[in-house]
Amino acid sequence: QNFEAPEIQKEKHNYESDVARMRKIVINRQALDSLYSHKEIFLRELISNANDALEKLRLISLTDKSVWDGSEPLNITVKAIKDEDGKGGRLIISDTGIGMSPEELTKNLGTLAKSGTSEFLARAESDEGGAANGNLIGAFGLGFYSSFLVADSVYVSSVTPASAKNPEPVQHVFSSSSEDSSFEIFPDPRGNTIGRHGTEITLHLKEDSLEYLENPELMNLVNKHSSFSTSFPIYLYTQQEMQVPDDEEPVSEAEETSPAEALDELEKEETPKDEDEAIVEDVEEAPEEEQSPAPPKLKTILVDQWQHLNSQPPIWQRDPKEVTDEEYKLFYASAFKDDTEPLAWHHFSGDSGSGVSFKSIIYLPGKFEDSFWQQPLTYRSKDIRLMVKRVFITSDFGDEALPKWASWVKVVVDAEDLPLNVSRETLQSTRFLKQLKQIIIKHVIQLLSKFSEEDGEKFEQFVKTYNTVIKLGAVEDTKNREKLIGLARFNTNQRNFTTLDQYLENRKQGQKQIFYLAEMGKDPEDIAKSVFVEKLHARGYEVLLLGEPMEEIFVQNIRQWKNVRFQDVAKVGLKFGDEDLDDEEEKELLKEQTEKYRPLLDYLKKQAGTVARDVVISNRLVTSPCAMVADNHGYTANVQRMMSASNAKSGKGYLHEIAMKAKLLEINPRSPLIEGLLRKVESLPTDEDERDEEAEAELQEVTSILIDGALIRSGFEVPNTYDFFSRVDRVLRRSLGVDELAPTDDTVKPAPPVDPELPSEEELLEPEELPEPDMSWIDEEDDGTAKVVVAPHLRNDIQIEMEEVDEFGNPVVEHDEL
Ligand SMILES: Nc1ncnc2c1ncn2[C@@H]1O[C@H](COP(=O)(O)OP(=O)(O)OP(=O)(O)O)[C@@H](O)[C@H]1O
């Protein structure tokens, strides 16, 4: 196993910078507790890579028999070899998969091509990385680099199948150690030890990882993480003691048997490993009492054995009744590299309807990756693994990929009745993918519906994780819209997690609208405080409070549920539904109030000209003096905010201008402030000769604040914050009796002259060291007398006077000055 040969020319390469960062994180894992406690995942990662390499080989061989004609075994082997001095050892993981050429070794192991790697690196390097590392590993998968969690040096020896272009491929080695920032590629000095194709990874284990030389530990890990995720056999190298007659040649003394040779035999015969043990027992059970001839002299030899670790069929092929929850969870973690427990799963057999029967497990993940909402709607999931008779075929469903709302679902499907050499193109023409897509979505909706009826913690987790995505589904997937709308939950001013059906059950007599208010990014409790909700709430109506941008899009698209229209309570058109009952009376009152407030309405209309189309008497306010209501075709504050967040350039035409201005200023005739304002407007002399310019300016200022206030109350931004606050300042000064024009002392210390020197690196990196505070005084001895303890460095600056007080808190000795 010696990779060192002086005559071999080694090509030295530097790692790509992201790999260097990744390796640094992994090698310095001591700093990252959770990464350290997850170090055992290295074996899962390497077996998963081996599995992928075998799947690739099998897939290519479907169209190119020269790569693999089915005669050699496809398997994964794990072999631990302890050093003779007992101080260390190596672990060898081999596969007979597609292998890597020297160029591929360089490219695949020297660069990182995974999406999301930069995010992983940034988070792992930041402070939060330490705490969140377990999840990080789950979310990103360290892949091959997890080797460095347990190994000081790693050798990857690999050879690709012979091809017309390269009829005699040479086995090459990639070698790297945790100390070097570079890796080397060179022809394997041992020659071809692997066989026709495959990869062998040798890990020289770190001192603190020697437990991975113990077979029980390795068996445990394979069982835990990998046994049901691969359909290829995994063999563990063991040595059994055996007693044989002294004159017999040992079967093998070797510690370095070629796994390929040994396993080739084994798999051809299909002899399960355990039968070898039976032979051992036979020998041991030789009856001792037999007399002559004299028992042959026995000696103990070590026999190499390969123990089949994953002899069970893959989990999806098993009877669901016999699979434990733990097994489902472990399979999920290893197959989809997600350490967060799945929320739910469904394991079933089905028939596509076009005669293809299959077995499948569908998982709902416990969380979404952060990137989910950043990906475009056209994003195609890679988490539906389609197999045909256990052979992985594709995870790319092309045009039949799931829609974005369901693209997070993780599925394994194993079809029985498709030809093995089916290509993706043929698959698409069989309608199978289309049917499968519908079956998956149907089951996802069933799983979601099941949760929707559950109570307690799981239900809350379900709502937290899936509520927004269900609403996206309702918008995106018109075919399943009704079902998904039924599952969507909303917070209201009266309760949490209400469905629209529950909302309708709570509808008041005459109510023909589903009331909602959307304020992006706000908590429901804050939205509930809006001026637009106050009257509805006071009267006992339920209002949906929508804080997610998706929710506004949902109501805009859905428009109605069971023939009841959605009504944005920040817009005109709000009807309680009981107006008809006292119609005449209401109308009369409105007429009277409009008459009474006419001068103020006219005055405000002039003042609000740039922000509102009209000013009217409100029927939606209780205590607030005024509000800015969006017209039917105008933008609400929420839509306006969403447009600026998405930087929607398309909306910036004249229609946008109109929509921006399409607002009504509503005033509350019962508010004393509005009444006061009316009196003020009425008291202004109208005669040109008698005009009181000062009073006019003052009123203008107050109304301007009122209008801006209405905008802010209603969630809009004021057109000019500086002007707004200057006006508020002036009004404050007036109310405090401070001179409105008195200037503020605005002298400031000017900056020192220009500094031509740039800061040195030390200045940049080392924060100014603060002296350690002296805390020893805290433990100063307590002599039992009443006193105030002051830190030594403050003792010169602080004077403390103590006085004695009586039981009522009055000073016992009066102060002279009092
Ligand atoms: N045993 C192997 N046989 C053939 N190629 C391999 C083997 N192990 C790794 N590779 C190649 O090296 C690449 C990088 O492996 P690595 O484990 O870092 O990432 P990955 O497998 O692509 O991603 P992940 O492990 O997160 O799924 C693989 O994509 C594959 O092409």
How many whole angstroms separate alpha carbon 592 and alpha carbon 598? Answer: 10
Asked whether 729 and 743 are in contact (CB, 8 A), the reply is no
Strand 513-518 and strand 344-351: the pairing is unpaired
Show the tokens assigned to 193.
């030890």
Task: Reply yes or no on whether the pLDDT at 782 is more than 70.
Answer: no
Higher pLDDT, 286 or 562: 562
DSSP state letters, 275-314: HHHHHHHHHHTS-S---SSPPPPEEEEEEEEEEES--SPP
Nearest protein Cα to ligand 1, atom 27: 143
Q: How confident is the model over 437-454, as pLDDT tens digits?
A: 999 999 999 999 988 877
The one-character DSSP state at 508 is P
What are the residues whose beta carbons fall under 8 Å from the beta carbon of 470, sequence distance 6 or more?
A: 405, 448, 484, 487, 488
Closest to 41 in 3D by CA, of 176, 175, 157, 141: 141
Asked whether 605 and 615 are in contact (CB, 8 A), the reply is yes
pLDDT computed for residue 469 by the predictor = 93
Q: 6 CA distance to ligand 1 centroid (A)?
A: 29
Q: 52 CA distance to ligand 1 centroid (A)?
A: 8
The one-character DSSP state at 14 is E
Q: Is 200 in the pocket of ligand 1 (CB under 6 A)?
A: no
Q: Is 141 in the pocket of ligand 1 (CB under 6 A)?
A: yes
The whole-number average pLDDT for the span 281-285 is 36
Q: Does 108 appear as a known binding residue?
A: yes
Task: Reply yes or no on whether the pLDDT at 105 is more than 80.
Answer: yes
pLDDT band at 268 (very low <50, low <70, confident <90, very high): low
Task: Reply yes or no on whether the pLDDT at 780 is more than 80.
Answer: no
What are the residues whose beta carbons fall under 8 Å from the beta carbon of 763, sequence distance 6 or more?
A: none
The whole-number average pLDDT for the span 632-648 is 78
pLDDT computed for residue 173 by the predictor = 96
Q: Is 57 in the pocket of ligand 1 (CB under 6 A)?
A: no
pLDDT computed for residue 14 by the predictor = 84
pLDDT band at 273 (very low <50, low <70, confident <90, very high): very low
- Cα 325 → chain centroid: 23
Closest to 41 in 3D by CA, of 52, 55, 25, 26: 26
What are the residues whose beta carbons fall under 8 Å from the beta carbon of 684, sequence distance 6 or more?
A: 692, 695, 696, 699
Q: How confident is the model over 669-718, as pLDDT tens digits?
A: 999 999 999 999 999 888 888 888 888 998 999 999 999 999 998 989 88
Nearest protein Cα to ligand 1, atom 11: 108
Higher pLDDT, 206 or 388: 206
Q: What is the 3-class SS of 368-436, one letter each residue? A: CCHHHHHCCCCCCCCCEEEEECCEEEECCCHHHCCCHHHCCCEEEEEECCCCCCCCHHHHHHCCHHHHH
How many whole angstroms separate alpha carbon 598 and alpha carbon 639? Answer: 32
Nearest-atom index, ligand 1, CA of 112: 18
Q: Residue 533 class from Cβ within 10 Å (0-12 exposed, 13-18 middle, 19+ buried)?
A: buried
Asked whether 151 and 208 are in contact (CB, 8 A), the reply is no
Q: What is the 3-class SS of 138-205, one letter each residue? A: HHHCCHHHHHHHHEEEEEEEEECCCCCCCCCCCCEEEEEECCCCEEEEEECCCCCCCCCCEEEEEEEE
Task: Reply yes or no on whether the pLDDT at 100 is more than 80.
Answer: yes
How many whole angstroms separate alpha carbon 213 and alpha carbon 239? Answer: 13
How many whole angstroms separate alpha carbon 563 and alpha carbon 559? Answer: 9
Alpha-carbon radius of gyration of the chain: 39
How many whole angstroms separate alpha carbon 50 and alpha carbon 82? Answer: 23
Q: What is the ipTM of this complex?
A: 0.97
Cβ atoms within 10 Å of 389's Cβ, excluding its own? 13
Q: Does 100 appear as a known binding residue?
A: yes
What are the residues whose beta carbons fall under 8 Å from the beta carbon of 208, sequence distance 6 or more?
A: none
Closest to 405 in 3D by CA, of 441, 369, 371, 435: 441
Nearest protein Cα to ligand 1, atom 25: 143
How many whole angstroms separate alpha carbon 640 and alpha carbon 658? Answer: 13
pLDDT computed for residue 112 by the predictor = 67
Higher pLDDT, 478 or 812: 478
The whole-number average pLDDT for the span 743-764 is 83
How many whole angstroms separate alpha carbon 789 and alpha carbon 792? Answer: 9
Show the tokens assigned to 635.
């933008």
pLDDT computed for residue 283 by the predictor = 35
Angle between helices 583-607 and 693-713 (to 10 degrees): 120
Task: Reply yes or no on whether the pLDDT at 741 is more than 70.
Answer: yes
Q: Report phi then psi at 157, rounded to 5.
A: -110, 135
The whole-number average pLDDT for the span 176-205 is 92
Higher pLDDT, 272 or 141: 141
How many whole angstroms separate alpha carbon 230 and alpha carbon 93? Answer: 15
What are the residues whose beta carbons fall under 8 Å from the beta carbon of 242, sequence distance 6 or more?
A: 251, 279, 280, 283, 300, 301, 302, 303
Mean pLDDT over each residue of the chain, to the nearest integer: 82
pLDDT computed for residue 517 by the predictor = 96
Q: Does 115 appear as a known binding residue?
A: yes
Higher pLDDT, 759 or 709: 709
pLDDT band at 264 (very low <50, low <70, confident <90, very high): low
Q: Is 19 in the pocket of ligand 1 (CB under 6 A)?
A: no
Cβ atoms within 10 Å of 252's Cβ, excluding its own? 15
Task: Reply yes or no on whether the pLDDT at 623 is more than 80.
Answer: yes
Closest to 142 in 3D by CA, of 44, 217, 260: 44
Best residue among 58, 144, 158, 392 to mutate for probing ligand 1's pocket (most ligand atoms within 8 Å of CB) is 144
SS3 610: coil
How many whole angstroms separate alpha carbon 260 and alpha carbon 97? Answer: 12
Residue count of the chain: 818
Asked whether 411 and 363 are in contact (CB, 8 A), the reply is yes
Q: Does 199 appear as a known binding residue?
A: yes
Show the tokens assigned to 190.
């041992």
pLDDT computed for residue 802 by the predictor = 66
pLDDT band at 277 (very low <50, low <70, confident <90, very high): very low
How many whole angstroms separate alpha carbon 90 and alpha carbon 203? Answer: 5
pLDDT computed for residue 276 by the predictor = 36
Residue with tokens 């009856």: 287
pLDDT computed for residue 152 by the predictor = 92
What are the residues whose beta carbons fall under 8 Å from the beta carbon of 790, sequence distance 6 or more?
A: 798, 800
Q: 407 CA distance to ligand 1 centroid (A)?
A: 24
State the first-to-last Cα distance of the chain, in angstroms, to the nearest integer: 96
Residue with tokens 């009425």: 682
CA distances (Å), origin 316, targets 121, 385, 737 = 34, 12, 81
Q: How confident is the model over 73-96, as pLDDT tens digits?
A: 999 999 999 998 888 999 999 999
What are the residues whose beta carbons fall under 8 Å from the beta carbon of 382, sequence distance 6 or more?
A: 395, 396
Q: Is 138 in the pocket of ligand 1 (CB under 6 A)?
A: no
The whole-number average pLDDT for the span 402-416 is 91
Q: Is 53 in the pocket of ligand 1 (CB under 6 A)?
A: yes
pLDDT band at 662 (very low <50, low <70, confident <90, very high): confident
* Backbone torsion region of residue 774, taken as left when φ is above 0, otherwise alpha when ψ lies between -120 and 50, otherwise beta: beta
Nearest protein Cα to ligand 1, atom 7: 49
Best residue among 52, 185, 226, 230 to mutate for probing ligand 1's pocket (most ligand atoms within 8 Å of CB) is 52
Q: Is 49 in the pocket of ligand 1 (CB under 6 A)?
A: yes
Task: Reply yes or no on whether the pLDDT at 421 is more than 80.
Answer: no
The whole-number average pLDDT for the span 28-40 is 62
How many whole angstroms separate alpha carbon 178 and alpha carbon 15? Answer: 12
pLDDT computed for residue 154 by the predictor = 95
The one-character DSSP state at 616 is E
DSSP state letters, 626-684: EEEEE-TTSPPHHHHHHHHHHT-GGG-SHHHHHHHH-EEEEE-TT-HHHHHHHHHHHHS
pLDDT computed for residue 132 by the predictor = 46
Q: How confident is the model over 42-82, as pLDDT tens digits?
A: 998 899 899 999 989 988 888 888 888 888 899 999 999 99
What are the residues whose beta carbons fall under 8 Å from the beta carbon of 525, sequence distance 6 or more?
A: none
Please tell me the chain's helix, strand, coil percentages from 3-state DSSP, rounded to the nearest 5.
Answer: 45, 15, 40
Task: Reply yes or no on whether the pLDDT at 760 is more than 90.
Answer: no
Q: How confident is the model over 2-12, as pLDDT tens digits?
A: 788 778 888 88
User: Which of 50-59, 298-307, 579-588 shows the lowest per-residue confidence on average (mean pLDDT)?
Assistant: 579-588
Q: Does 71 appear as a known binding residue?
A: no
Across 282-286, 314-318, 787-791, the highest mean pLDDT is recorded for 314-318
- Report cis status (omega within 30 of 0) of the bond before 189: no
Task: Reply yes or no on whether the pLDDT at 566 is more than 90.
Answer: yes
How many whole angstroms separate alpha carbon 371 and alpha carbon 116? Answer: 8
The one-character DSSP state at 210 is G
pLDDT computed for residue 653 by the predictor = 66
Q: Does 620 appear as a known binding residue?
A: no
Task: Reply yes or no on whether the pLDDT at 177 is more than 80.
Answer: yes
The whole-number average pLDDT for the span 180-202 is 93
Task: Reply yes or no on whether the pLDDT at 272 is more than 80.
Answer: no
Nearest-atom index, ligand 1, CA of 141: 26
The whole-number average pLDDT for the span 175-197 is 91
Task: Reply yes or no on whether the pLDDT at 470 is more than 90.
Answer: yes
pLDDT computed for residue 313 by the predictor = 82
The one-character DSSP state at 66 is T
Q: Does 598 appear as a known binding residue?
A: no
CA distances (Å), origin 197, targets 54, 100, 577 = 10, 9, 77
Task: Reply yes or no on whether the pLDDT at 349 is more than 90.
Answer: yes
Nearest 5°: the CA angle 464, 466, 472 is 125
Higher pLDDT, 78 or 371: 78
Q: How confident is the model over 206-216, as pLDDT tens digits?
A: 998 999 999 99
Best residue among 57, 108, 202 to mutate for probing ligand 1's pocket (most ligand atoms within 8 Å of CB) is 108
pLDDT computed for residue 453 by the predictor = 79
Q: 45 CA distance to ligand 1 centroid (A)?
A: 9
